[in-house]
Amino acid sequence: NPLQGAQFVLAAHRISQLPADQGAEVAFAGRSNAGKSSALNALTNHKGLARTSKTPGRTQQMVAFSLPPPTQVDGQPPADVRLIDLPGYGYAKVPLEMREHWKLEIDAYLHQRRSLRGLVLIVDIRHPLKEFDRLMLEFCFATQLPCHLLLTKADKLSRGQATQALATLRKQFAAEGLHATAQIFSSSAGTGVEEARQAVMTLLRQ
Ligand code: GTP
Ligand code: MG
């Protein structure tokens, strides 16, 4: 597993507190409770790495994790390869002020972060493409930031339903001119984990 051995670096309340903007990083974004932190843990094979919670809006920080030396990205010093867990978005019980803060901060991060190589967009397979997800996809398209979408919690659907959800999503992408790779995923069942690891590595190598 190329993402094995990820380590917590820091949690930031604003982008100025993130690690130096050099090397390569991939960010995990998605609505509150979609399963971002669980996906990070599954991909890095480290259960307690990112805090997960039944309560939506748990991650109210940008959390940076570094990947160890074996995860060499061509030409980059190994210490400068990171994964970033972005705060969940769209949960009404998070105070408005906080939501506004993160809206601005995520927007600034996506626009300004030079080491950002790509976005992993985490979407609950039962609730595909809400407003926030569309915003993220449109942003990626506009700035030509590569995006890989994980339709997660696939264990909540039958295999047939999950395959259908992916096919519907791909049709929507084609119809709306959106560009992202997408796959079925489940942190709890381990579905699609290897495929997602390869996708993250591909993003890091951009
Ligand atoms: P915030 O940080 O609050 O925005 O949430 P998050 O997107 O990081 O979600 P998190 O990983 O904390 O997961 C939210 C809830 O969904 C937890 O109760 C998880 O156990 C559950 N969950 C996450 N992934 C899966 C999955 O693949 N299948 C199932 N059944 N549950 C999942
Ligand atoms: Mg989280």
Estimate the share of the chain in helix, then strand, then coil, as percent rounded to the nearest 5.
40, 20, 40
Q: What is the pTM of this model?
A: 0.92
Domain 7-204 has CATH 3.40.50.2300: no
pLDDT digits (tens, 9 = 90+) for 154-199: 999 999 999 999 999 999 999 988 889 999 999 999 999 999 999 9
Residue 117 Cβ < 6 Å to ligand 1: no
* One-letter amino acid for residue 146 of the chain: P
State which residues have CB under 5 angstroms from ligand 2, the bound ion. 36-37, 59
Mean pLDDT of 144-149: 96
Residue 41 Cβ < 6 Å to ligand 1: no
* One-letter amino acid for residue 96 of the chain: L
How large a percentage of the chain has pLDDT more than 70?
Answer: 91
Atom of ligand 1 nearest to the CA of 152: 27
Ligand lying closest to the C-alpha of residue 31:
1
Sheet holding 147-152, edge to edge: 7-12, 62-66, 81-85, 24-30, 116-124, 147-152, 181-184
Residue 115 Cβ < 6 Å to ligand 1: no
How many A from CA of 187 to the centre of ligand 1? 8
> Rounded CA gap, 73 and 42, in Å?
21
> Rounded CA gap, 116 and 145, in Å?
8
DSSP class of residue 98?
A: H
> Rounded CA gap, 69 and 67, in Å?
7
Tokens 């595909």 map to which residue? 128
pLDDT digits (tens, 9 = 90+) for 46-95: 998 988 877 766 667 899 999 986 555 666 555 589 999 998 876 666 77
How large a percentage of the chain has pLDDT more than 90?
Answer: 64
The overall average pLDDT reported for the chain is 89
More confident call, 45 vs 50: 45
Q: How many residues does the chain have?
A: 206
In this structure, which residue's CA is closest to atom 18 in ligand 1? 54
Q: Tokens standing for 115? A: 């080491």
Given a cut of 80, whether residue 130 has pLDDT beyond it is yes
What does the domain layout of the chain look like in residue ranges? 7-204
Residue 56 Cβ < 6 Å to ligand 1: yes
